[in-house]
Structures are given as C-alpha cells and as structure tokens.
Structure 1
Amino acid sequence: MFRSAPAAAVRRALVPLLLCCALLAGATGCGGDDGDSATPSGTSSADRQKFAKTRFVTNAGLAAGATYRWIVKPYRDGRFKSGAEGRRFALVKAGLAGAFTYNRLRAALRNAQGDPTLAKAVAPLTAGVEALKDLPSKLRKGDSTEAVVGSFDDTINSVKDAGRSAGAEVTDQVPSAGQLAKG
C-alpha cells in the first residue's frame, strides 16, 4: 500500500507530460519542407481584378454618402450661411466629410484600374477628383461654400454616372462618424 501511492503520483505527472510531448511532436511534424508554410499568401492579381468593381462601388458609395449627408444636405438646409445656428460645427463636419470624400474617391479610382471597362469610364474623372484636394479646408473656413459644395456634388455625380456606364451602380452609403474621423 505504501508503494502504490508514489507510483500513482508518478503516473499522474507522467501522463500529461507524455501527452504534451506527443501533441508538440505531431504539430511540428505536420509542416512541409517546402518553406511555404510560414509565408503568407496575398491576393492574386486575378482576385484583385475580380473584386475591382465591388471595391470601387464601396469606396464611391461611401464618398457619395458622406458628401450628401455632411456637405450637400446641410448646405441646402442653410446651415452654412453666416449667422446660422450651429454653422461652425456644420462647417467642421463638412470639412471632415470633404477630406473623407477625397480619400475614398482616390481609393475608388485606384480600384477602377483593376477592371478595364471601369478604368476607361473613370479615367476622365481623375482631374476632377484631384481638384477636390484643397476644398475641405475651404469648407472648414466657410470660404465660397456654394462653389465648393457644387464641386463635390458634380464630382460625385460624375463618378456615379461613370460607374453606372461600366456596370457598377454606385449607391450612397453614409459612413459612421468613426469612419469619417479616420478619413
């Protein structure tokens, strides 16, 4: 009876140790010798081309939603006029939305390069998107808001039309405030 107690303790300690060693040996033995197992594989160029329209639609839709929600609609509601209640806050939000829109439109143009039909359709819009680069700061300051709002609205409508002609229908998607702040 005295001898079985230490043997049971050794068995209880030895079994988990052996199981751990067996699992470790099995896990390391599953890898191949080809060296590819540790290298992550990215998206192939075929996949990038395959999702070009989807990415374009998503980015252009976010840009369109931000433009309408925080630039065009407040302008039409008169929130950018001198003396309007909440004017400063509306202009700051419009400036952020303008920067977000510019960022997403540039991403949409890059996405369009992955699809030949879409690339041809949006190629003439590159200059219009680049022209938006300095407009968010004008919005924040409240400078010539009518012209700035018109530029954003015209560019968004041109992108939507180009997408539609290439078979990539763009619908407005309003970004969250967190997305807007990140740009």
Structure 2
Amino acid sequence: MFRKVLVLPVLLVTLVGASACGGGKKADDSSARVAAGRSPAASSPAASPSSCPTSTTKHFAKTRFAADAGLAFGAFHRYIWNPYQAGSFKQGANGRTKAFAKAAAAGLFAANRVNAARKLIGSDPKLCKALKVPAEKVSAMFGSLAGKFKSGQLDPSEIGSVGSAVDGMKSDAKNQAGTNITEKTPNLGG
C-alpha cells in the first residue's frame, strides 16, 4: 500500500515535469492561442488544410500518430471516462480523491500524447487535411481537463464534451484519413 501511495505523486511530478520541458524550443503560436482560449481555426491560416504538406515529411507519420493518439485516448477512457461513468468523481464517492489524482495524471499524459500526435499530423498530407483542426481542439480540451482535475474544480459536462471530441477524432481518422486508432491503456499505477 505504501508503495502505491508513493508511486502516484512521483508519477504526477514526472508527467508535469515532462510536459513542462520545452527542450529549448520556442512555443509555436497556435499552441499559445489554444492555451489562451482562442480557437486556432478561427484566428490562424495555419489551421486551414491549404497549409498542409503535399508529401509526407516524416517517416511513419501515420503509424506514429496512431500510436500516440491510441495511448492518449486509452488513458482518457481508462482513467477519466470509465470512472466518470461509474460515478467516482461525485461528492462523497468512495475513492474519489484517488480517482481525481489518477484522472489528473491521465489528463496530463493524454495532453502530452495528443500534442505529439498533433505535431505528426502536420507532416502527412492526408492526416493534415482531415485532422488538423480536430486535433488542436482535442489537445486544448485535454489540457483544460487536466487543469480542472488538478484543481478539483470539475464540470461533469466537460468530460462528456471531451469524450465526444475523442470519438469524433477517431471517426475522422478512420473515415477521412484511412488510419485506425487502437486504444492502448498505459499503466498509471492501478
């Protein structure tokens, strides 16, 4: 029991540190606009499919995108959606604090993996045209959701909105880009 209690804070610190590391790169404008709450699709020509490449610029972009998105969506469903459906986030629920902690870690992990997937979208013309705008929306939603779990200020309708956006992105990936996203559940300590 002591080991499980110790692993979760270490995991949270690691995820927060990993998501805060920028590697010395300057943040791009679109992520700054998304973080500020403005829609990149409405304020930036970079979100339009006309800015997509004409040929693939990174090796195995679709495969790597599907792997990153699968990890993000798997973490979301296992640690956020399923506990939400079971009522684990309701006031007075048994194990509520643990569910919130795991959901916060999963939200940070999912935001990190969706951000990595979003970067790969821009390197494949088919992915870019089909998923650039939905991926930016999902990335912003995961970041916001993780922050709400960390602060304990959760609006249950937001989980439903994120779930709908995730399902929509999976559908668009399959139907428009020909890429099937298979969810993989990372182990976040239980």
TM-score of the pair, normalised by structure 1: 0.66
Out of 130, 134, 141, the position equivalent to 2:151 is 141
Q: 1:76 aligns with which of 69, 85, 94?
A: 85
Mapping of 1:9-158 within 5 angstroms?
49-125=58-134, 126-158=136-168
| Deviation digits for residues 74-116 of structure 1 (CA, Å, limit 9, x no counterpart) | 0101110100011011011001111111111111111111210
1:47 CA displacement = 8.4
Question: Greater Rg, structure 1 or structure 2?
Answer: 1
Deviation at 1:48, TM superposition (A): 5.6
**C-alpha separation in 2, matches of 1:117 and 1:62:** 21
Alpha-carbon distance in 2 for matches of 1:120, 1:128: 16
Contact 1:63 1:156 in 2 (8 A): no
Q: 2 CA distance for matches of 1:96 and 1:118?
A: 28
Measured after TM superposition, the shift of residue 155 of structure 1 is 2.5
* Cα distance in 1 between the residues matched to 2:109 and 2:164: 16
Contact 1:80 1:145 in 2 (8 A): no
Residue-pair matches, total: 134
Q: Is the 8 A contact 2:78 2:185 kept in 1?
A: yes
Q: Name the residue aligned to 1:169.
A: 180
Q: Partners in 2 of 1:94 and 1:177 — Cα distance?
A: 10
Amino acid at match of 1:162: D
What is the CA distance between 1:171 and its match in structure 2?
1.3
Structure 2: 5+ residue runs without aligned partners?
Answer: 1-54
TM-score by length of 2: 0.64
Asked whether the 8 Å contact 1:66–1:100 carries over to 2, the reply is yes
Aligned CA RMSD, in angstroms, stands at: 2.2
Please list the CA deviations of residues 12-54 of structure 1 after superposition, one character each: whole Å capped at 9, or x if unmatched.
xxxxxxxxxxxxxxxxxxxxxxxxxxxxxxxxxx986330000
Unmatched 5+ residue regions in structure 1?
1-45, 179-183
Task: Tell me how far 1:123 sits from its aligned partner.
Answer: 1.6
- Change in CA separation of 1:63 and 1:156 when aligned onto 2, cut-off 3 Å: same
